[in-house]
Structure 1
């Protein structure tokens, strides 16, 4: 079972690409790449991710950048989020924000006025359409449900509800601070406020879970949920409480074979209920896909605001021509001091080489069921199409013969079976991409 099914949410406050810098000599075609990428001129569009780092408690499986607050100055936090948003918008010189996502942490703990203030800041400094997708992650506690209407008035038009499980005992094992009844109540309220624009997160592979119990739970959830579901395989992260419990034998999780069955059965059940899988972990019906997440998977620019947030954009104000990978300072208190002093809390920034950008486009694009089209690939790689890059690889040919990978006139994509083992397909593809890049460098 692939790790790619695990908790890839739309935060990007968690790093999915572990490069520590460029590999070898940076390609001189970097600026040409970015120009070609956006149809003749660098894109002036981006999405905005805003990270709220605070939670009331830490879930037993969580290793995200979150903190249990001991007195938070809401006024200072709001001011810093506003200022960093303004600074990064000016630095990137984007003219249009196409979507906004408030993640965490538990952003539903933030005052609705803070959400409104960030949106107003974005609208002042760039074009933010009135109908742009604005998502808020919600922890379905009674307190969270009671403020949904205020968040809707603040500008949120899509909710992502962290249901995780409909079994109260499992919620306790996961360290969640809500019950299944709380989740149902929050879900109903969210659907009233944003019909057709409510996503549900659910975790499978929990301790003691069977394929049969998982299928029954999913059927029950689909009978009440809206038009978007995100499935995440439970991942035991080193250092978490749940990892320790499993390590010492207090709990046990399903094996890889059972995990694979759970994923496969979920895909089939969702399909029968009218949900189309459009990405490894995401399913939608009636076109209710997450446009914000699609921007990540299609290699678009995004600005990351808040402690620990990640971003990918060209710093045009500084004369930049290469896309940078940026990470904001993790610790909220330190981040706030840096924002107050410098206008932003960027802890680390690395210019992405041509090869690194192509690697990201390939890795993220193959998460989509539609894969990467030839046209989309040419935007990032105008000098080498898929056939030139991958056509000569015996490993790639073998993956096609095994029915896991498809390379045809539509582009490159995983088959139904291949999507479930994506992690095992990526190494030979990335190796071939690197070899082609080296060959081109030697010729040049």
Structure 2
């Protein structure tokens, strides 16, 4: 299993399981790239870059603030939100995700002001999903009610573990009691609207210990679980500890066992897997993340955020991949000067768009339906691309991949091996696209 499959997909990112017959997820199908609705609707990701401390495993774009500049940050987030919405063709925001960093360090009024800015520029869907990542500390818990009043209707709680020694080694600033109390309070405010982040593959963790801990945690979870494998990232404190022999990580074989154990355990507790690392019951799938995986537009606001949308007034329907400036101080200066901190703009070609649709769509247990693919690729079907490939045929015969009248998807066993299959699928896509282009 490759690491990026288990990283959070909620950060406005750029480009990885259960039985399909039991899947109850409603398919979210985007419109054609040429459809006005596709360019008029988007999700919004807002990045809060600050943390009080850096976890030992973390390499996300986050910073320890030297001083309290929340007022400046709030105003700049509002302004960049306003600017990017005006630069896009978007008239409706379907979901908002406040990630970080630790967005639960922000004052609830900051959240309210950003949502108010959005509503002044565009329509907020009647069923808009507004998610806030929360660090389960006493401070975070104390503000949950105010966040809810500000407009948040879904909380993503970074529990990670209930083991005291593991929380300490990971550099987390909460304990298990804090996590349980925060989770209980969040469930009171947003019943069915609370997601819990759980991490496996931690130092010295065994499959047996993981199984017991997961079962214990699921007894207090709400209706959504995001499951992440701890991965070593260069430059982190944990990486240095492992390199020096201070810490021992589970082997790839053990982490693979943990993953399969988690899938089975979650299913036994009523959770349906709908994506590589996400599980839900009672129709509580993350609509924001589903927008990523189904190829919809998203706008990224804040230091280091990424976006994919069609700019206004530049002709055609070509999407741009946008990346905002990483460093908060530099980003603030740029937003003050020109209204936004976009550092990089890259126009996506048709093949690049199809590659993203393929990579993200295959993360879902439902995979990619023929109808879904046709909306992005009306002249080159899934069967034309993959049906005649000998390598793909081998994957089909192994039972790892399924290509039928429903579309293309991984099997239960195959989804855990998606990282090894994606390069094959991407090569076949490029080959077929080039042949089609040459024929025309």
TM-score normalized with structure 2 length: 0.95
Alignment partners' CA distance in 1, 2:118 and 2:219: 37
Deviation of 1:443 after TM superposition, in Å, equals: 1.7
Deviation of 1:16 after TM superposition, in Å, equals: 3.8
Tell me if structure 1 keeps the 8 A contact 2:34–2:317. Answer: no
Q: Which residue of 2 aligns with 1:289?
A: 285
Q: Which residue of 1 aligns with 2:74?
A: 78
Q: Which residue of 2 aligns with 1:37?
A: 33
3-state SS of paired residue (2:32): helix
Q: Given the superposition, is the C-alpha separation of residues 232 and 168 from structure 1 closer, same or farther in structure 2, using an over 3 Å criterion?
A: same
Tell me if structure 2 keeps the 8 A contact 1:4–1:422. Answer: no
Q: How does 1:212-231 map to 2 (within 5 A)?
A: 212-231=208-227
3-state SS of paired residue (2:399): coil
3-state SS of paired residue (1:254): coil
Q: Which residue of 1 aligns with 2:100?
A: 104
Q: Which residue of 1 aligns with 2:25?
A: none
Q: Given the superposition, is the C-alpha separation of residues 42 and 162 from structure 1 closer, same or farther in structure 2, using an over 3 Å criterion?
A: closer
Deviation of 1:440 after TM superposition, in Å, equals: 1.7
Deviation of 1:42 after TM superposition, in Å, equals: 4.7
- Matched length: 426
Gaps of 5+ in 2: 16-29
Deviation of 1:318 after TM superposition, in Å, equals: 3.8
Alignment partners' CA distance in 2, 1:358 and 1:181: 46
Alignment partners' CA distance in 1, 2:139 and 2:31: 47
Question: Of residues 183, 195, 202 in structure 2, which corresponds to 1:199?
Answer: 195
Q: Which residue of 1 aligns with 2:9?
A: 9
The reply to whether residue 341 of structure 1 matches residue 337 of structure 2 is: yes
3-state SS of paired residue (1:201): strand
Q: Given the superposition, is the C-alpha separation of residues 117 and 40 from structure 1 closer, same or farther in structure 2, using an over 3 Å criterion?
A: closer
Question: Of residues 394, 414, 417 in structure 1, which corresponds to 2:413?
Answer: 417
Q: Which residue of 2 aligns with 1:264?
A: 260
Q: How does 1:346-357 map to 2 (within 5 A)?
A: 346-357=342-353
Per-residue deviation, residues 111-164 of structure 1 (Å, max 9, x unmatched): 111100110011111110343100000000111000111100110000000000
Alignment partners' CA distance in 1, 2:53 and 2:252: 29
Question: Of residues 173, 176, 179 in structure 1, which corresponds to 2:175?
Answer: 179
The reply to whether residue 246 of structure 1 matches residue 242 of structure 2 is: yes
Q: Which residue of 2 aligns with 1:428?
A: 424
Q: Given the superposition, is the C-alpha separation of residues 42 and 198 from structure 1 closer, same or farther in structure 2, using an over 3 Å criterion?
A: closer
The reply to whether residue 154 of structure 1 matches residue 150 of structure 2 is: yes
Alignment partners' CA distance in 1, 2:127 and 2:394: 45
Alignment partners' CA distance in 1, 2:68 and 2:5: 34
Gaps of 5+ in 1: 18-33
Deviation of 1:339 after TM superposition, in Å, equals: 0.6
Tell me if structure 1 keeps the 8 A contact 2:39–2:309. Answer: no
The reply to whether residue 440 of structure 1 matches residue 433 of structure 2 is: no
Q: Which residue of 2 aligns with 1:113?
A: 109
Tell me if structure 1 keeps the 8 A contact 2:94–2:127. Answer: no
Deviation of 1:35 after TM superposition, in Å, equals: 8.4
Tell me if structure 1 keeps the 8 A contact 2:38–2:296. Answer: no
